[in-house]
Amino acid sequence: MKNSIISFIIFILTIVCIIFSLNHLDVVYNDLSNICVSIQHDIDNGNWEKASSKCDSLIKVWSSQGKFLSSFSSEEELHTINDRLISLQSYIDLQNKEEARVYSNQISFFLNHIKKMQELNIENIF
C-alpha cells in the first residue's frame, strides 16, 4: 500500500511539473514571438534603430530563455535559431530589408514549430 501511495504522489507531481513547464513554454514563446513581430514591423517601416535595439533584446531574451527550450526541442533547431538571430542582427545593421525580413520570418517559424510540437494532439502522441 505504501508503494502505491508513493507512486501515485510521484505521478501527480510529474503531471503538475508538465503543466507548469508547458505554461512557461507558452509565456516564453509569446515573449519571443511578440518581439519578433515588432522587429518585422520596424523592418517594414524602415526603423532600423528600433529594429536593432529590439533584435538586441530578442537575443538577450533568447540567451536567458533558450536554455529552457532545450528540453522541448532538438539541439539542431536551437542552433538554427541562434544562427538566424546572428544573421538577422547583421542584416539589420546593413539595412538589408529583404534578407532581414527572411530571417525574422524564419525565426518566427522555428519558434512556432517548437510550440506546435508540444501541443497535445494525436499527431504528437504517435
Residue-level pLDDT at 99? 93
66-89 residue pLDDT tens: 777 777 788 888 899 999 999 999
C-alpha cell at 78: 536551437
pLDDT band (50, 70, 90) for residue 125 = low
Four-way CATH pick for 27-125: 3.60.70.12, 3.40.50.300, 2.60.40.1930, 1.20.120.290? 1.20.120.290
Mean pLDDT calculated for residue range 114-126? 73
Distances in Å between the Cα of 12 and the Cα atoms of 8, 17, 78, 101, 121 are 6, 9, 30, 44, 21
Distances in Å between the Cα of 53 and the Cα atoms of 46, 84, 118 are 13, 16, 30
pLDDT band (50, 70, 90) for residue 38 = very high
d(CA 31, CA 24): 11
Mean pLDDT for the chain overall: 88
| Predicted model pTM | 0.83
> Which tops the pLDDT comparison, 68 or 124?
68
Please tell me the total number of residues recorded for the chain in this structure.
Answer: 126
